[in-house]
Structure formats: structure tokens, C-alpha cells
Amino acid sequence: MPSKSVVVGSAVGLHARPAAIIAEKAGELGSDVTINGVDASSSLMIMTLGAGNGATVEVAGDDQAAVDAIAALVEQDLDA
């Protein structure tokens, strides 16, 4: 299973707005992707991680391209 460690880039961490953007993209990919073991297509599950700015999280999934796409979003400041 492909995985990648990434640092949370959003200034306020993975709260409602970044979580919603990530979950929407994960839902479009058609592949199972997780962030620290929780379903990346669920914004609520992403928010329960409590991952703040600068936290390291593990993105994993069935498909390397899907993992890379979600990892790239996690690294961005999605509040900008």
C-alpha cells in the first residue's frame, strides 16, 4: 500500500475548510485514501485528527497517484 509522510501546511491545521477541500477531492478520486488511518473522504474524520500546522501525518491508499494528490493538498495552505 503506497504511503507518504507530509507536513500539514494550513495555518490553522486540518479544521473545517481544509478538511472539506481534502474530503471532496478524495471522494472524486475513486480510490481509498486515509490520513493517519482515517477515511480521507470524510471531512469529519479528518477534523477528529486534530492535526495542526506543522504536524506530520501519513497519507496512504490503494493508488500512488491518489496518495500524491491528497498529500499535495495536505501540504498546501488551504485557508489562503
Which residues are catalytically annotated? 15
Q: How far is CA 26 from the centre of its chain?
A: 8
User: What single-letter amino acid sits at 22?
Assistant: I
* DSSP code for 1: -
* Cell 485528527 found at: 49
CA separation for the pair 62, 14 (Å, rounded): 22
